[in-house]
Structure 1
């Protein structure tokens, strides 16, 4: 385990993330431009894909980090049976849910019940499929719908804010089920679908298109919001949420509804809109 991962056990997670958020939202011209230029240079951000390619045009680092893409920069898989990759990034892991258990890394796993915050919500995904996508600082940080769905409920699950880098994923037990997260439950034409926005150290802000900023505030108890009476329907490939500063998104699908794309594997790079899985049945 690296020194950085070890230190995350004792660091004041929420305080550090709150300080990072202040920096990200600062409109100080010198500070915000230094942050933008540093990240662009260090991580090789391709601003030619952005709707606003001028790095000096962003009023804050967060505005740069959550930048929109220009029309046509990402397109959905043309096959109408294809469930779509929800974000740019890398596959952390993907595959079958074994009963209730989701694979994290060699020797590490967690349960869908832990991830979603309750056994009732997790039950439909028993022996189903999962895909965990890590968004790096260079990536587009908006999350889009894998499939058309009606929003049923969100569940804000309190937790820590560990790093979600490779070393932490390999060494922190039940990492994604321990970090602060927003669980989004959808109803689709094949049954339930869950999309989980997982926070991380320094990069813990989550915002949805239907409710605005969800995290922070950080939660001290599980918080549920029922949307069943509001008829919020989002189409396949439509934007659903964004990370105000990055992290990980996890998609859960029920058993027997789809087959994961054969090209997907741990650490493989992925782009928004490519095939995540194919509907069956």
Structure 2
């Protein structure tokens, strides 16, 4: 048995949520010597480049969480053309959504419907589209931005486990991104529907959005859907949310994306061009063809 598989297996019996909430409370500690010690140790351990931060002085942050979600200096992440990366991280997987499935890792797939919280009708809209997954490591910038301009249509909270989302766990825990707690944000764009899925992970203290503040953890169980009658429009590159500790963003597009050629598992930065969507999307039929089954 490999160390990677062992690491994945020992996570199953762990109290994911209790550990994550405990870490969240510690990360929000505002005792100066405690938070300064934690921040400086983290910078040394992960080689964080504070020269990019709007506030480069580690002691100036009120808590570890404030440091972790720090903003960058203006102009640090210029926007590329067409579809851009929503975050700094590793572009782990990307490609076409085939047979209504997304690839997690070699030998592991999950359906669009599972990812979106069991919404078959919405999942059908992404049939024939594309997806991309960006993993944010602890050292990365942890604000999430819009890969395309869009108008928020619905937000869905999906409860679940909190497995780690690093490469080792992704290779050994089936349907990982469809099992973990996550926030699904549905946008209308000029290229059709776009879903940004912010996936929670072990010791991630919370997920925030710019329109509703901190969303996770929620005290109630069950899938919760919130529709927005008042439009929330965000331009490409505008911040839409953030993670309190590292996690993953899964993007799903209704239209095919012509991705920039390159290897998987490569580092990307927020604003970096990922590919192009050549033309505005055509209106999708609201009815499924008779040959289609459940998504």
Q: Does the alignment reach a TM-score above 0.5?
A: yes
> Alignment partner of 1:272: what SS?
coil
Superposition deviation, residue 219 in structure 1: 4.7
Please say if residues 85 and 276 of structure 1, whose CA atoms lie closer than 8 Å, have aligned partners that are also in contact: yes
Q: Indicate yes or no: 2:236 matched with 1:236.
A: yes
> Alignment partner of 2:230: what SS?
coil
Q: Who is 1:84 aligned against?
A: 84
Q: Who is 1:259 aligned against?
A: 258
Superposition deviation, residue 204 in structure 1: 4.5
Gaps of 5+ in 2: 280-295
Q: Who is 2:148 aligned against?
A: 147
Q: Who is 2:71 aligned against?
A: 68
1:59 to 59, 62, 84: 62
1:3 to 3, 6, 10: 6
Please say if residues 143 and 243 of structure 2, whose CA atoms lie closer than 8 Å, have aligned partners that are also in contact: yes
Q: Who is 1:25 aligned against?
A: 28
Runs of 4+ aligned structure 1 residues displaced above 2 Å come to: 1-4
Please say if residues 85 and 272 of structure 1, whose CA atoms lie closer than 8 Å, have aligned partners that are also in contact: yes
Please say if residues 158 and 218 of structure 1, whose CA atoms lie closer than 8 Å, have aligned partners that are also in contact: no
Q: Who is 1:126 aligned against?
A: 127
Alignment partners' CA distance in 2, 1:121 and 1:132: 19
**Residues 37-58 of structure 1: CA deviation (Å, up to 9, x unaligned):** 1211111100000000001111
Q: Who is 2:53 aligned against?
A: 50
Of 238-247 and 28-37, deviating more is 28-37
Q: Indicate yes or no: 2:179 matched with 1:171.
A: no
Please say if residues 161 and 204 of structure 1, whose CA atoms lie closer than 8 Å, have aligned partners that are also in contact: no
Total equivalences in the alignment: 275
Alignment partners' CA distance in 2, 1:106 and 1:4: 18
The alignment yields a C-alpha RMSD, in angstroms, of 1.1
CA 1:49/1:252 → structure 2, altered by over 3 Å: closer, same or farther? same
Alignment partners' CA distance in 2, 1:160 and 1:130: 22
Alignment partners' CA distance in 1, 2:227 and 2:146: 19
Alignment partners' CA distance in 2, 1:18 and 1:260: 37
**Equivalent residue runs for 1:107-122 within 5 Å:** 107-117=107-117, 118-122=119-123
Please say if residues 5 and 168 of structure 1, whose CA atoms lie closer than 8 Å, have aligned partners that are also in contact: yes
> Alignment partner of 2:241: what SS?
strand
Q: Who is 2:288 aligned against?
A: none
Alignment partners' CA distance in 1, 2:163 and 2:246: 13
| TM-score, normalised with respect to structure 2 | 0.91
**Residues 62-86 of structure 1: CA deviation (Å, up to 9, x unaligned):** 0000000011111101x3xx11110
**Residues 96-118 of structure 1: CA deviation (Å, up to 9, x unaligned):** 11121110111111111000011
Gaps of 5+ in 1: none
Q: Who is 2:247 aligned against?
A: 247
| TM-score, normalised with respect to structure 1 | 0.95
